[in-house]
Each structure stands twice: as structure tokens, then as C-alpha cells.
Amino acid sequence: MRAIMKQEMNTSENNWQLRIYKSSVAARVVIGGFFCLAGGMKMINQSEFVKALDSYNLFPQSSIDLLSLGVPQAEIIVGLMFALGIKTRLISWALVAMIACFTTAASLALINGQAVDCGCFPTSGEKEAVGFAYFAKNALLIASCLSVGALSQKRNSFNQQWASSLASL
């Protein structure tokens, strides 16, 4: 009887761990895709992204061209790595740093009285104003990246437990 109860507890624990793992993978793919899409749109609409960067009045004119080329490429590379699960813990911290930089720049621009365009998904003629929704989205992205990063360090032990439980079937 005890053996059956113990087996049921192990099975339910493995099911719970599997759901967490699947949720973590889904979050990784969504967040990674979000950054790939944002970077791709910035590359396609580079002139609009340059206007968005210029609206912040925080960057020297000479660095705006460099930022307009480097930021989209970094977003695509880091987004792909995150979505594919490559160096997940490290990349989650890189994403948090990027989001923190974006949020800091937007905060400084607002403090300086600038009405700024987020520049996240630049399209011709459309602007995404920085406001409460922008900061809420960034807070959610940071929390999600940190959660996925924290779960990724437990993945190896989870995979070993899962493989051993499958082998015992």
C-alpha cells in the first residue's frame, strides 16, 4: 500500500514538474519570438527606429546610427538564443539588462519632459507612446525572463529525474 501511495506521489510530482517545464519552454519561445519580431521590425523600418531614438533626446547624433544598427541585431540574436534554449540562464539576464536599459532611457526621457515613441515595433506613421502600459509590459517581461532563467538551472536535475522515471516504466 505504501509503495503504491509513494508511486502515485512521485507520478503527480513528475506531472507537476513537467507542466512547469512546458510552461517555461512556452514562455521562452514567446519572449524570444517577441524580441526577434521587435528586432526584425526595427531592421525593416530603420528610419522610423532612428526617429524614435532621436525623440528621446538622450543620445548623441553620432551614436543613433550605431544604436539603430546594433540594437535590432542584438534583439534578434538574443531572442533566437532564448527561444531555442541556448544558454538560457545567461540569456535571461541579458534580456533583463536590455529591458532595464530601454526602461531607463524611457524614464529619463519622460522625466525630461519628452513625449517619446517607444520604438519597440516601429512602423510607418504609427507611434507607441511610453506610458503605464509600456512600464507594465517591461515589468512583466523582466519577471518572466527571471522566472525562466531560475527554472533553467533546475532543468538538468528535472530531466534526469524524468528520464529515470521513464526508464522504470
| Cα–Cα dist 111/143, whole Å | 24
Ramachandran assignment for 107, one of left (phi > 0), alpha (psi -120 to 50 degrees), beta (any other): alpha
- Sorted by where each begins, the domain ranges of the chain are 17-155
In order along its 169 residues, the chain shows pLDDT tens digits of 555 545 555 566 678 788 888 888 999 999 999 999 999 999 998 888 888 888 888 889 889 989 999 999 999 999 999 999 999 999 999 999 999 999 998 898 888 887 777 777 766 566 667 778 888 999 999 999 999 998 886 554 444 454 455 455 4
Of 52, 41, 57, residue with least CA distance to 117: 52
Cell reading at 110 = 519622460
